[in-house]
Structure 1
Amino acid sequence: MNRISYLLPLSVLLMAILPANGYAGATWTYSLPVNFRCDNGVTTMGYSVYVEGNTKELGNDKAAEAFKLTPSAYPSWTGKVTFLNLKPDDVVTWKCIIRNETNPGDVKDEGPENNVTLSFKSTPQATASF
């Protein structure tokens, strides 16, 4: 009898939460991380290394909205970016840039374009160099 007293409120709660027509309108949002590393990012005062790319998280190819990395073992810079609304096996195009911190339009240097494939299995390591 004790188990039934727990199951009854739980079943009522589940029925209230789940839509009446099942999962017909369900959508899935993926959260896929990538570890970025830019090597040989030698900067001067007021400049930092950023990752610029073709997604919202990387600024939609706009230097002013790029993702700022952190110096790890200078002159290497690293950062973890989590991509939303993309799927496993989607390819993200990206590059390292050295940008002025206060004037985002002042890009001092940029590396070549690279690609990284998003994955569920393990966090991709995306590495490039200037």
Structure 2
Amino acid sequence: LVKAAAKLLPDFHLLWLVDEMKKNLPLELDFTNEAANAERVRTMYAHLDYLKVPKIHYEYTSDRVLTMEFCSGAQINDLDYFLLHKIDRHDVCRKLGALFSDMIFVNGVVHCDPHPGNVLVSKNDDASVSIILLDHGLYLVPGYLS
């Protein structure tokens, strides 16, 4: 499909996608890899009381099945949820920006799929706010490009 698109759109250099997919798709589909990445991030940021990485239930997890804690929340772009629960979106934005900056520039890891469906926000019973980070299937780590 990519080769056909490359012929139809010669100005767009798309063949690099084939190599990336060959390298990354097996990682994305290996749920033991995703579980290990989730644990790594949970440990790395255990000091952040606002960050929640769902707990992995290893006894029910394999390379084909990932079982983790259910975390209630709304997508990070759900403004109605922010307004309804009186959540300071600027505070959440600062915290999320600081988290991803620390991941990239301090720890050298990049969460490769941080779209709104994988970043949730939740108002807790004690009125605090949690950022819930999901989908740890693919990370870029130091040495990836070398």
**Range into which the TM-score falls when normalised by the shorter chain:** under 0.3
More strand per residue: 1
With normalisation by structure 1, the TM-score equals: 0.26
With normalisation by structure 2, the TM-score equals: 0.24
More helix per residue: 2
